[in-house]
Amino acid sequence: MTAPIFAQLEQTLHEQMVTATGDDAQADTPLSAARPVRSLGVQRGILVLELLPDALLAVARRLRDHFAFDLFLDVTAVDWLGQTPRFEVVYHFYSSTHHVRVRLKLRVDEAAPDVETLTSLYGSAGYMERECHDMYGIVFRGNADLRPILLYEGFSGHPLRKDYPKQQEQPLVPYRPPQGALVR
């Protein structure tokens, strides 16, 4: 591991896996509901955790409250067209105390591309989740404001999905000047 906090996180996660399975030898057993972390590793100096979708809120809360990951940087998605589950939702956090980043990844199905919102932990998540919803169609349960933020009302589809038709023409929306604006 590249940073002391990574070793501490790895130890804590290993202990939780042992507690959940009741046996140190079974800490590396296949994924189960009691074991929400699918994998743990370091890629390019960033700790990467692959999670079950239902574990997102609890893991993010623990990262913030116990490991000082106080800054939510980004949420995005990767479209793995042809794979099941199709979408990988990716979160990035930063610790201003330890000066390191952590990445959380989780996979969701095309039929129900939804995950829990992080707005209760990080207020800025609302805007980033809106962007991810615009571009990929990921639904963030609990986010009361998933209005388009990059696209306009009436835009059809999600342009960063790999099956989005590049030549598709969008409906024209008449120009509406902002209320109170001077129009000449």
Instruction: Identify the residue whose tokens are 């189960």.
Output: 32
Decide the pairing of beta strands 46-51 and 37-43.
antiparallel
Of residues 68, 170, 71, 51, the one with CA closest to residue 128: 71
Q: At what angle do helices 56-67 and 4-21 cross, to 10 degrees?
A: 130
Cβ–Cβ contacts within 10 Å for residue 22, how many?
Answer: 9
Q: Which pTM was predicted?
A: 0.81
Residue 128, class by beta-carbon neighbours within 10 Å (0-12 exposed, 13-18 middle, 19+ buried)? Answer: buried
- pLDDT tens digits, the chain, 184 residues: what are they? 467 777 887 777 666 644 443 444 444 444 344 567 888 888 888 899 999 999 999 999 999 999 999 999 999 999 999 999 999 999 999 999 999 999 999 999 999 999 999 999 999 999 999 999 999 999 999 999 999 999 988 888 999 999 999 888 887 777 777 777 666 6
CB 70 within 8 A of CB 95: yes
Of residues 49, 60, 76, the one with CA closest to residue 119: 60
CB 16 within 8 A of CB 49: no
